[in-house]
């Protein structure tokens, strides 16, 4: 399956220390990619690197905040010198603040936009410079179903992820001539440590997600591996500016009555 082979490729995954970011990073590593992981938390980075290396994957890590353009530029330069060129960028780092719009502090709104939208732009701009010189590169932005839908208490997150969808399309438009493909992944609802408290049997939200999802289940983190490998590999060389929603079919349907089997 040479189309999906990532040997001799280096993938930088922001926030790839846990959850969905770690699952996608592991998928890339299984396909042969060398991993470069970023985090803002030293302990999480250390644990993640231990996990990757125990699995036999080649991985290195760097501590920095993707919203600080000066530090990010310094770190990308450092990574290139110490590890090598970046062939694949996965913009995964993000935050969410669940606060009703009428009550949300403007500083909180700005913080979410900064991390979830400005950060990916900073990283994409930095990494694209070497990709343009090389005439080759893959950028994968981690969007969300909130790139398409609204939901109570996540106005900042939805605004950022909607913006990230359009940023993906615009960067693809500008950089396609350099043989750079910029695409996005929009995860649905996944079984992670963060969602564990609301996935217990009988919890209203658990029942809602299972009934709302045609696949009738939460996603497993490994469900994202194949999409990440596809968008990072030669298999997607003529796919550009697209958002692939990995959601068990939620966005394909209006849903069903709660009493319908």
CATH number of the domain at 111, please: 3.40.50.720
Note the pLDDT tens digit of each residue in 174-220: 999 999 999 999 999 999 988 898 899 889 999 999 999 999 999 99
What's phi and psi for 10, nearest 5 deg? -120, 125
Structurally, the chain folds into a number of domains equal to 1
> Residue 1 falls within a domain, yes or no?
no
Q: Tokens standing for 45?
A: 């980075």
Q: Give 79's strand partners.
A: none
pLDDT level of residue 55 (50, 70, 90 thresholds): very high
> Which among 137, 161, 133 has a CA at the least distance from the CA of 236?
137
| Residue 78, pLDDT score | 98
| Residue 261, pLDDT score | 56
> Residue 202 falls within a domain, yes or no?
no
pLDDT level of residue 1 (50, 70, 90 thresholds): confident
**79: domain range?**
7-191+219-248
Q: Check: CB of residue 98 under 8 Å from CB of residue 92.
A: no
| Residue 76, pLDDT score | 98
> Residue 197 falls within a domain, yes or no?
no
> Residue 135 falls within a domain, yes or no?
yes
Note the pLDDT tens digit of each residue in 121-148: 999 999 999 999 999 999 999 999 999 9
Region 65-85: mean pLDDT is: 98
Q: Give 59's strand partners.
A: 35
> Residue 166 falls within a domain, yes or no?
yes
Phi-psi region of 177 (alpha: psi -120 to 50; beta: other; left: phi over 0): alpha
pLDDT level of residue 85 (50, 70, 90 thresholds): very high
> Residue 203 falls within a domain, yes or no?
no
Q: Which residues are catalytic?
A: 157
Q: d(Cα 131, Cα 240) in Å, to the nearest integer?
A: 15
Q: Check: CB of residue 233 under 8 Å from CB of residue 28.
A: no
> Residue 113 falls within a domain, yes or no?
yes
Q: d(Cα 31, Cα 26) in Å, to the nearest integer?
A: 9
pLDDT level of residue 255 (50, 70, 90 thresholds): confident
| Residue 193, pLDDT score | 85
User: What pTM was estimated for this model as a whole?
Assistant: 0.96
Dihedral sign, Cα of residue 43, residue 185, residue 190, residue 101: positive
> Residue 69 falls within a domain, yes or no?
yes
How much of the chain, in percent, has pLDDT values that exceed 70?
98
Q: What 3-state class would DSSP assign to 25?
A: helix
Region 251-260: mean pLDDT is: 79
Across 82-192, where does the E strand assignment appear? 88-91, 137-142, 180-187
Across all residues in the chain, what is the average pLDDT? 96
């Amino acid at each position: 399956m040479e189309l999906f082979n990532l040997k001799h490729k280096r993938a930088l995954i922001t926030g790839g220390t846990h959850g969905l970011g770690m699952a996608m990073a592991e998928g890339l590593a299984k396909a042969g990619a060398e991993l470069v992981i970023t985090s803002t938390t030293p302990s999480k980075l250390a644990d993640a690197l231990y996990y990757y290396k125990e699995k036999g994957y080649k991985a290195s890590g760097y501590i920095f905040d993707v919203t600080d353009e000066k530090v990010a530029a310094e770190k990308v330069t450092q990574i290139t010198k110490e590890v090598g060129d970046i062939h694949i960028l996965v913009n995964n780092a993000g935050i969410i603040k669940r606060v009703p719009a009428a009550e949300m502090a403007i500083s909180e709104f700005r913080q979410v936009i900064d991390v979830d939208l400005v950060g990916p732009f900073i990283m994409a701009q930095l990494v694209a410079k070497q990709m343009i010189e090389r005439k080759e590169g893959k950028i994968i932005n981690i969007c969300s179903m909130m790139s398409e839908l609204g939901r109570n208490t996540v106005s900042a997150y939805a605004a950022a992820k909607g913006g990230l969808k359009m940023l993906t399309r615009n960067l693809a438009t500008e950089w396609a001539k350099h043989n750079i493909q910029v695409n996005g992944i929009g995860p649905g609802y996944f079984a992670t440590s963060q969602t564990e408290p609301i996935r217990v049997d009988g919890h209203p939200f658990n029942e809602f997600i299972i009934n709302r999802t045609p696949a009738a289940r939460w996603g497993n983190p490994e469900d994202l591996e194949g999409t990440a490998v596809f968008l990072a590999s030669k298999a997607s060389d003529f796919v550009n500016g697209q958002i692939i929603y990995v959601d068990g079919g939620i966005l394909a349907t209006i849903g069903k009555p709660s009493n319908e089997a």
